[in-house]
Structure 1
Amino acid sequence: MSAAVLAAAPPRPAHRDPRVLRWLGAYTASTLGDGVYHLALSWAAVRGGTPAEAGLVLAVSAVPRALLMLGGGVIADRFGPRRVVIASDAVRCLVVLALAALVLATAPALWTLAAVALVFGVLDALFMPAVGALPPRIAARDQLARVQGLRGLGQRAGAVLGAPLGGLAVALGGPGTAFAVAGLLFALSLPLLLGLRLNPLPTGAGTEAARRSTVLGDLTAGLRHLRGHRVLGPLMIVIALSDLGFVGPLNVGLALLSDQRGWGASGIGWILAGFGTGAAASSLLLGVKGRVPRAGAVLGWTMALGAVSVGALAHAPLLPLAVLLALSVGLLAGLSGALAGALLQTECDPAYLGRVSAVASLCSLGLAPLSFPLTGAAIGLWGTGPVFVASAAVCALAGAYGLLVPALRHAELPKG
């Protein structure tokens, strides 16, 4: 076959691209490792101290993650996302395997578990922006929606399978065995990542400026790029508002709602299973379909419609209805989240992608969880119904804002 024919051949879709599948395998293994690690850490902390001390151990990683996330974005852009992801997973593998050996040999002090959690928080601040910056370096722009769909499937696999796998490892051999399993999963991602080859960055203003700038200058330039962009700036506000309204009811409100309704722990499990099924279905759909026309408008409408399901969830009198509403939330939130990620990666200059991804991750994983205690306190004062409705209003505000900003409403994903 001639070189001209090869050049004219269309690129492979993401779900058939060996590079994308290699990245997806590494990401899924790492996500599973995270799930097993967190289950093992919580079990070891609960067995080793009081509930308050265990809660402190589990919360300590959030501090460096929030404080260092923006710096992690600068590092991803400066040194390349592949190097940062490989280094993060390698250090996580070594740390958690060392902890496994320590737990198997003796009962570690709580300060040891807290130190490991602190290290993981620092590594998360490096890992998350770098993961967000990788897809445009391994796939064509018209395949980024598919990549986000596949990434959503990897996240669902980690959420659904990680904790049960960790629980099984704890049941068979204790937390030491579970930590060892987590370390092996982190190790599994390394050969996949080491064989991954990235597309070079296009030469442009962003890359040229980065060669001459300081770290603080890099961060300032990334924030300036985000603030001045007609799509990315409004998109970041939409992401922040939707996460702020969504995560409180999902992470705190469901437990209180299930307790009030008498559904018990199994009720929480069924509702979360409904949400996970919906989110996985939307990710699978986007991963296969590849492109959603009028992506900006669909993003706004799915957020607005998902808000209706969030508000209705607290008023469901029967568990099957609550599961159906959770399925609806998962479908709509999964689709809007994947579209937001695809638009972010499509619109952003690749030289700034680590920093812009860091801001998005900070909104989702650094700032939004601050609403957890507020959600719990508000439910204690006013009950689940008003708080779920208020949270739904914040989600609806995110969708409405996206629809009211013309540049974001008319944003499109590239055609294949």
Structure 2
Amino acid sequence: MEAMSKTRQGNSILKNRNFLLLFIGSVFSAPGYYIYLIAAEWLMLTLSENRVYFGMLFFAASVPRLLLLAVGGVVADRFNKRTILFLSDLLRALLIATLLLFLYLDVVTAWHLIILATLFGIADAFSYPVTNSMTPLLLKEDQLQRGNSLIQMTMQISPILGPALGGTLIAVLGFQGVFSVACVMLLIGSLTVLFIQLKQGNEGKRDHSPWTELKEGLAYVRQSEFIMAIMFIAFFINFFFSGPFSIGMPIIVKDVFEGSAINLATIQTAMGVGAMVGAILLAVKKITNYKKVILFSLLVVGCLYTFTGISSHLYISAILVLIMAALLQFVNIPIFTILQKTVDKSMLGRIMGLLVTVSTGLIPVSYVVTSTLIALGVDIRYIMIGGGIFIVIIAIISFKFKRLRTLGM
């Protein structure tokens, strides 16, 4: 009977027209975004042998994202979320179209890619809070974990289809072909979002200034021990993981494994497959002890990350990345589900914006530190090993963190 109930609930979610449109939009926009990313990364590696430029590509996208995420959260609470998501995807499509023009004119440089990455970061700052705060407006509370898992599955199609298609298209059609596909997919995703119908809320009818609302969001966070604890963990985990992994894996594939764009796609596809597997498991299995699941997953991720730095074989690295990605879903989805259940819906945009701001706060620094260490001659594999060790330490310490006791609900 329980299995039949879960099946009916899953079907009812997919029969929800607005949620289905969000689902379909993600199926197009997320892979299109990742097709662009892998193509931009490989184009940067092709344009310049200076790996500092490669690190700057990530830094340029992360800085405006960090600075504007809190603003994006306020905007998400004040204006129509559907319109914001549409404009964000449309802007990405137009930016890729601009890059295509540069390619056709044969004038593209490393600095063009860095500037476009900056503009992508601005678009991200407004789309992230909306995406994470829209689901509870479309679904009932008891559907949120399953709904979040389904949305994550569509988001994780991006690291599967995106790198796979991107690497293949680079080899078959060249950079012009791969960027054309990415542009079209983002355009379709943006148009799909326009058909979502949201109930009229308080958008555009606020009595307070945006600055006052931002301070209200900060006060709300300070009053929640759970949110403060999650921000503490995410703040440091992202520093030790995001920079070394994002910059390191493409460099390892090209310089250590002496691989191609398709080999890089293999690693990134493995990450997508793992993330999707984790999301599927959470779609069919309800979590009862959030603290143990989240912190144990972090502990194992730290260990696997260390082994990834040690690995000298492409496919072993791909397997390690796959398992890490699956376990990271057991951290992210429960956190978002708890927040969506407990946070006032009128505050969701701001809280999600602030959470992502704090959790990604050290990522630009991580990119700079990683790039600097590489420029000084430090092997990227040693940087990743060190990052994995620190993640293990943070996970162990967090098991005794009193503010996480509320995760046992």
Aligned 8 A contact 2:160 2:270 in 1: no
Q: Determine whether 1:265 maps to 2:264.
A: no
How far apart in 1 are the matches of 2:381 and 2:41? 27
- Corresponding pairs, count: 396
* Range moving further from structure 2, 167-176 or 234-243: 167-176
How far apart in 1 are the matches of 2:168 and 2:384? 36
Question: How far off is 1:163 after superposition?
Answer: 3.0
How far apart in 2 are the matches of 1:11 and 1:153? 14
* Paired letter, 2:385: F
- Helix, strand or coil for the counterpart of 2:278? helix
* Paired letter, 1:359: L
Partner in structure 2 of residue 81 of structure 1: 81
How far apart in 1 are the matches of 2:224 and 2:203? 19
- Helix, strand or coil for the counterpart of 1:87? helix
Q: Residues 303 and 14 of structure 1: is their aligned pair in 2 closer, same or farther, counting only changes over 3 Å?
A: farther
Q: Residues 316 and 107 of structure 1: is their aligned pair in 2 closer, same or farther, counting only changes over 3 Å?
A: closer
Q: Determine whether 1:280 maps to 2:288.
A: no
Partner in structure 2 of residue 404 of structure 1: 401
* Paired letter, 1:27: S
Partner in structure 2 of residue 362 of structure 1: 357
Structure 2 gaps, min length 5: 1-7
Question: How far off is 1:311 after superposition?
Answer: 3.4
How far apart in 2 are the matches of 1:354 and 1:67? 16
Aligned 8 A contact 2:245 2:384 in 1: no
Q: Determine whether 1:218 maps to 2:218.
A: no
Q: Determine whether 1:235 maps to 2:230.
A: yes
Q: Determine whether 1:194 maps to 2:191.
A: no
Q: Determine whether 1:353 maps to 2:348.
A: yes
Question: How far off is 1:225 after superposition?
Answer: 0.8
How far apart in 2 are the matches of 1:325 and 1:200? 46
Question: How far off is 1:370 after superposition?
Answer: 2.5
1:344 to 314, 339, 348: 339
Question: How far off is 1:335 after superposition?
Answer: 1.5
Q: Residues 284 and 66 of structure 1: is their aligned pair in 2 closer, same or farther, counting only changes over 3 Å?
A: same
Write the mapping of 1:2-401 to structure 2, written as runs, cut at 5 A.
13-15=12-14, 17-42=16-41, 51=50, 55=54, 56=56, 59-101=59-101, 103-104=103-104, 106-110=105-109, 113-199=113-199, 211-254=206-249, 263-265=257-259, 274-289=270-285, 291-315=286-310, 322-375=317-370, 377=373, 384=381, 388-389=385-386, 391-398=388-395, 400-401=397-398
- Helix, strand or coil for the counterpart of 2:197? coil
* Paired letter, 2:213: D
> Whose radius of gyration is greater, 1 or 2?
1
* Paired letter, 1:163: P
Q: Residues 16 and 304 of structure 1: is their aligned pair in 2 closer, same or farther, counting only changes over 3 Å?
A: farther
How far apart in 2 are the matches of 1:126 and 1:225? 20
How far apart in 2 are the matches of 1:109 and 1:21? 38
Aligned 8 A contact 2:78 2:203 in 1: no
Aligned 8 A contact 2:163 2:266 in 1: no
How far apart in 1 are the matches of 2:266 and 2:167? 18
How far apart in 2 are the matches of 1:39 and 1:276? 13
* Range moving further from structure 2, 237-246 or 66-75: 237-246
Q: Residues 126 and 256 of structure 1: is their aligned pair in 2 closer, same or farther, counting only changes over 3 Å?
A: closer
TM-score for the superposition, normalised by structure 1: 0.79
Q: Identity of aligned pairs, percent?
A: 22
Partner in structure 1 of residue 4 of structure 2: none
How far apart in 1 are the matches of 2:71 and 2:158? 26
Question: How far off is 1:309 after superposition?
Answer: 2.9
Q: Residues 16 and 299 of structure 1: is their aligned pair in 2 closer, same or farther, counting only changes over 3 Å?
A: farther
Question: How far off is 1:244 after superposition?
Answer: 2.6
How far apart in 1 are the matches of 2:229 and 2:386? 24
CA RMSD across the alignment: 3.7
Q: Residues 26 and 403 of structure 1: is their aligned pair in 2 closer, same or farther, counting only changes over 3 Å?
A: farther
How far apart in 2 are the matches of 1:287 and 1:37? 28
Partner in structure 2 of residue 4 of structure 1: none
Aligned 8 A contact 1:63 1:121 in 2: yes
How far apart in 2 are the matches of 1:322 and 1:46? 21
- Helix, strand or coil for the counterpart of 1:60? helix
* Paired letter, 1:286: L
Per-residue deviation, residues 223-270 of structure 1 (Å, max 9, x unmatched): 11112113222122222233233324533455677799x654388766
Per-residue deviation, residues 374-415 of structure 1 (Å, max 9, x unmatched): 346289559846862553333542464265335544454xxx
* Paired letter, 1:279: A
